[in-house]
Structure 1
Amino acid sequence: MYVLSVLVLIGSGTVAGVLFAVALSTVPALAAMPPDRYVYTHTLLGRNWDPTMPIIVLGTTLLDVVLAVLTPGAVPRSLIIGAAVCLAGVSAVSHLRNVPINRRVHRTDPDAIPPGWQDPRPLWRRWHTLRTALAMAALALNGLAVTLPS
Structure 2
Amino acid sequence: MSVLLVVQLVLVGLLAGEEFIVRWGVQPALSSLPDDAHVRTRIALVKRLKVVVPILMIPAVLASVAVLVLVTDQSGLEWRIAGVTAVAVFLGASFLGTVPINMGVNDWDATAPPPDWRRVVTKWERIDVLRSTAAGVAFVLFVIGVVQLLA
Answer yes or no: is 1:104 the counterpart of 2:104: yes
C-alpha distance after superposition, 1:93-112 (max 9, x if no partner): 11211121122222222212
Segments of 5+ residues of structure 2 without an aligned counterpart are: none
TM-score by length of 1: 0.87
Q: Unaligned stretches of 5+ in structure 1? A: none
Shift of 1:43: 1.3
In angstroms, what is the RMSD of aligned CA positions?
Answer: 1.9
Q: Is residue 62–residue 84 contact of structure 1 (8 Å, CA) maintained in 2?
A: no
Higher alpha-carbon deviation: 49-58 or 104-113: 49-58
CA shift, 1:69, in A, is: 2.4
What is the TM-score normalised by the length of structure 2? Answer: 0.86
Partner Cα separation in structure 2 for residue 63 and residue 98 of structure 1: 23
Amino acid at match of 2:84: A
- 1:31: which partner in 2? 31
What percentage of aligned pairs have identical amino acids?
30
Q: Using the TM superposition, name which of 8-17 and 70-79 deviates more.
A: 70-79
2:47, 2:106 within 8 Å by CA — same for their partners in 1?
Answer: no
Could you tell which deviates more after superposition, 26-35 or 15-24?
26-35
Aligned residue pair count: 149
For the residues of structure 2 that align with 1:49 and 1:131, how far apart are their CA atoms? 15
Letter in structure 1 aligned against 2:143: G
The structural deviation recorded for 1:17 is: 0.2
CA deviation string 1:7-63 (max 9, x = no partner): 111111011100111122111111223332222111111223234322422322222
| 1:121 match | 121
Moved over 4 A (4+): none
